[in-house]
């Protein structure tokens, strides 16, 4: 009998890994390469889940940013598509490892937002990681020198009765009294405070009071009126027709401002600073350097603040602003026509209504998705 000859299978093509698998493999590689000597890779099932959450979130952000790029006319559209192929993957993997080890989860509200921005040196997109106010708390608890057992954060209204009791020779513990006279009519916001509580050593308890003026000093110069309230231009048929008043979410923004201050003011323990912390700071500095390229079209509404005087904690999705656009401000009349073209595009964007944040209760204190 003749032996059957095996013919090589034709047309076999090596299956390429999906974007999700490639992303996860790069992150796992970084987890392993940055592991403590003699220890495990440190990649737990929790970290693997976070990797999936980061991929899903970043994928959605890139798609939304690309839609925003394509909406622009060709004269003002960046030539580089906002897609995975044009993302600096090595740097992204490093940063994902850092934020995942800190415990920031992009699927949880107010932990962290991802922001693609054009790096003018590499001509690729980097991803900025902007920590939300809940993420600020998690970072504080991991790296700070002495984290309080509890932090009380409250707004004070004109009809409330608040009294700060300072620590002195006759009083060993700094404290306060606070009474809400009428829950149905508390009046206007006149201030707020945070109070650190140390259960085992109450003499370390500390209160910081903010007047309304103190709170508003921390408000971004070009803060969105959709959230802080105020007036904005009213547009009709692409033309400015006056001003309209926006109620906004002033109370919630004041509360969030004090919340951030409470956790940002806890002292960092230098002995706890690790590579993850330094990478996160480096990412923040890099984003800060490129913040003039930021566009506010593609970030969730709760983080939509003006970027030109941005605190790294209040950020927006970016798209590169070309040097040509900046130069048009200094040009004479020939360039003025092009400037007019920009103005004609802007009213269309201005007529878009900013979505109202979904109502939700957080720890019984905040009632909007901030």
User: Which range is least confidently modeled, 22-36, 73-87, 181-195, 305-319?
Assistant: 305-319
Q: Name, in order, each residue with C-beta under 8 angstroms of 275's C-beta and a sequence gap of 6 or more.
A: 34, 98
Q: What is the mean pLDDT of residues 213-235?
A: 83
Q: Which residue, among 187, 166, 191, 190, has the nearest Cα to 176 in the 3D structure?
A: 166
pLDDT at 309 over 50: no
Task: Round the average pLDDT of the chain to a whole number and report it.
Answer: 75
pLDDT at 149 over 90: yes
pLDDT at 222 over 50: yes
* pLDDT value of position 195: 97
d(CA 217, CA 208): 16
**Per-residue confidence band for 39, with pLDDT thresholds at 50, 70 and 90:** very low
User: Which range is least confidently modeled, 123-132, 219-228, 357-366?
Assistant: 357-366
* pLDDT value of position 276: 80
What is this structure's pTM? 0.65
6/366: higher pLDDT? 6
* pLDDT value of position 331: 41
User: Which range is least confidently modeled, 104-108, 261-265, 288-292?
Assistant: 288-292
Percent of the chain with pLDDT over 70: 70
pLDDT at 328 over 50: no
pLDDT at 250 over 60: yes
pLDDT at 11 over 70: no
d(CA 223, CA 355): 16
- Residue 341 to residues 119, 321, 333, Cα–Cα distance (Å): 26, 15, 13
* pLDDT value of position 61: 92
d(CA 217, CA 169): 33
Q: What is the mean pLDDT of residues 83-93?
A: 90
**Per-residue confidence band for 270, with pLDDT thresholds at 50, 70 and 90:** confident
d(CA 216, CA 253): 10
d(CA 60, CA 68): 12
User: Which range is least confidently modeled, 106-110, 261-265, 289-293, 310-314?
Assistant: 310-314
Whether 211 contacts 191, CB under 8 Å: yes
* pLDDT value of position 214: 94
* pLDDT value of position 182: 94
Q: How many helices (H) and strands (E) does the chain have?
A: 10, 9
Whether 99 contacts 129, CB under 8 Å: yes
Q: What residue spans of the chain are helical by DSSP H? A: 19-33, 45-71, 89-102, 133-143, 212-217, 225-228, 250-264, 275-289, 323-327, 333-350
Give the model confidence (pLDDT) of 177-203 as tens digits: 999 999 999 999 999 999 999 999 999
* pLDDT value of position 173: 95
Give the model confidence (pLDDT) of 66-85 as tens digits: 998 898 888 888 889 999 99
pLDDT at 35 over 70: no
């Amino acid at each position: 009998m003749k032996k059957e000859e095996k013919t090589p299978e034709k047309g076999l093509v090596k299956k390429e890994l999906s974007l999700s698998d490639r992303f996860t493999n790069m992150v796992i590689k970084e987890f392993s390469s940055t592991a403590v000597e003699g220890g495990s890779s440190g990649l737990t099932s929790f970290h693997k889940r976070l990797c999936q959450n980061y991929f899903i979130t970043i994928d959605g952000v890139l798609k939304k940013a690309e839609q925003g790029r394509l909406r622009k006319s060709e004269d003002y559209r960046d030539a580089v598509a906002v897609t995975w192929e044009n993302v600096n993957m090595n740097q992204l993997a490093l940063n994902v490892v850092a934020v995942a080890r800190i415990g920031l989860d992009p699927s949880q509200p107010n932990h962290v937002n991802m922001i693609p921005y054009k790096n003018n040196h590499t001509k690729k997109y980097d991803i900025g990681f902007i920590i939300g106010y809940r993420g600020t708390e998690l970072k504080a608890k991991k790296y700070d020198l002495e984290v309080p057992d509890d932090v009380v954060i409250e707004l004070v209204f004109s009809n409330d009765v608040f009294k700060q009791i300072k620590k002195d020779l006759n009083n060993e513990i700094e404290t306060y009294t606070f009474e809400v006279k009428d829950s149905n009519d508390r009046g206007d916001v006149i201030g707020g405070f945070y109070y650190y509580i140390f259960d085992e050593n109450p003499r370390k308890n500390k209160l910081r009071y903010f007047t309304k003026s103190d709170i508003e000093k921390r408000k971004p110069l070009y803060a969105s009126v959709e959230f802080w309230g105020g007036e904005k231009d009213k547009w009709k048929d692409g033309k400015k027709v006056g001003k309209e008043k926006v109620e906004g979410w002033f109370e919630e923004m004041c509360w969030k401002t004090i919340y951030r201050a409470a956790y940002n003011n806890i002292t960092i323990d230098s002995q706890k600073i690790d590579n993850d912390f330094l990478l996160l700071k480096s990412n923040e500095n890099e984003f800060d350097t490129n913040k003039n390229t930021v566009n506010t079209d593609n970030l969730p509404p709760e983080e939509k603040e003006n970027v030109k005087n941005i605190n790294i904690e209040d950020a927006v999705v970016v798209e590169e602003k070309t040097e040509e656009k900046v130069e048009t401000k200094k040009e004479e009349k020939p360039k003025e026509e092009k400037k007019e073209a920009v103005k004609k595009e802007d009213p269309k964007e201005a007529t878009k209504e900013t979505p109202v944040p979904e109502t939700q209760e957080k720890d019984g204190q905040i009632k909007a998705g901030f």
